[in-house]
Amino acid sequence: MQYQVIIPAAGQGKRMNAGKNKQFIELQALPVMIHTLNIFEMDERCDEIILVINPNEKQLVESLLTQHKITKARRLVTGGAERQHSVYNGLQSLKDAEIVLVHDGARPFITHNIIHRLVDVAAEKGASVAAVRVKDTIKRVSDDGVVLETMERSSLWAIQTPQAFRVSVLEKAHEVAKEKGFIGTDEASLVEEIGIPVHIVEGDYQNIKLTTPDDILYAEAILEKQSGGR
């Protein structure tokens, strides 16, 4: 089954504190955004990339796409105030897609194997998310820093992107969220709100989101390992 992917890349990267959108930080001489786009560019099952960007970065993005021969990102979409609004804008520009993936521009280490498993589960069941089992003990804590409870770890998963959906499911979820003024931190939470089951696809701990400066050190180590330490 083929798919289209929406890549939200219109954030500010405030927690990264790099003085620029973290999408443009270079890892082994390639911007983060290009690492992510290359994965979908090289996937035969990906028909189109809908790249969501800040309008003031359009020229820079266009020149990077040309320079790095990214041919599938034919339509650039303007982002919104929150990640959810950026994805909503991307969804409005989908054409003739049955399955849509949403994947953070800031997660440059996703694999084709996980992408394909997500697409297959979404095609069969409607909604799927990449996730890994939580490794730490997780506690719920009050605003004044006192532990309220220890969560049962065996049922806790850390949710990543990609998240894959039948297009009709994600469209409905976004419309309902818009009506209710609901803002979620991922697409699956919107789908959960409309009562459609979201299925876990076990992912990879290396599929990190570059969020804070220490993530860059880890990303460099992953790339070093991928390139055989050369």
Task: Pick the binder of ligand LQXTBERG from 185, 213, 220, 226 (CB under 6 A).
Answer: 185
Please identify, among the stretches 93-101, 120-128, 138-146, 157-165, the one whose residues bind ligand LQXTBERG according to the rule CB under 6 A. 157-165
| Footprint on residues 39-68 left by ligand LQXTBERG (CB under 6 A) | none
The CB-of-96 to ligand LQXTBERG minimum distance in angstroms stands at 25
The binder of 2, among ligand LQXTBERG, ligand CTP, none, by C-beta within 5 to 8 A per type, is none
Residues in Cβ contact with 104 at an 8 Å cutoff, skipping those fewer than 6 apart: 7, 8, 36, 161, 209
Instruction: For residue 81, report the phi and psi dihedrals to the nearest 5 degrees.
Output: -65, -40
DSSP 57: G
Give residue 225's Cα distance to chain centre: 23
Q: CB nearer to ligand CTP: give 13 or 31.
A: 13
By the criterion CB under 6 A, which residues form the site for ligand CTP? 8-16, 22-23, 52, 79-83, 86, 104-106, 209, 211
Question: How would DSSP label each residue in 111-133?
Answer: -HHHHHHHHHHHHHHSEEEEEEE
Check residue 113 for interaction with ligand LQXTBERG (CB under 6 A): no
Q: Could you tell me the two tokens for 17? A: 């504190």
Q: CB nearer to ligand CTP: give 92 or 150.
A: 92
Max CA-CA distance within the chain? 53
Check residue 209 for interaction with ligand LQXTBERG (CB under 6 A): yes
The binder of 79, among ligand LQXTBERG, ligand CTP, none, by C-beta within 5 to 8 A per type, is ligand CTP
- Between CA 214 and CA 102 the distance in angstroms is 25
Give me the sign of the Cα torsion angle 14, 16, 17, 21: negative
Contact in structure between 147 and 122 (CB atoms under 8 Å): no
The binder of 14, among ligand LQXTBERG, ligand CTP, none, by C-beta within 5 to 8 A per type, is ligand CTP
Contact in structure between 32 and 16 (CB atoms under 8 Å): no
- Between CA 47 and CA 109 the distance in angstroms is 20
Quickly count: other Cβ atoms within 10 Å of residue 200's Cβ.
15
Q: What Cα–Cα distance (Å) separates residue 8 from each residue in 81, 82, 104?
A: 12, 10, 6
Check residue 85 for interaction with ligand LQXTBERG (CB under 6 A): no
The CB-of-152 to ligand CTP minimum distance in angstroms stands at 28
Q: CB nearer to ligand LQXTBERG: give 68 or 193.
A: 193
Please identify, among the stretches 117-125, 154-162, 166-174, 190-198, the one whose residues bind ligand LQXTBERG according to the rule CB under 6 A. 154-162
Q: Residues interacting with ligand LQXTBERG, by CB under 6 A?
A: 83, 104, 159-161, 185-186, 209, 211
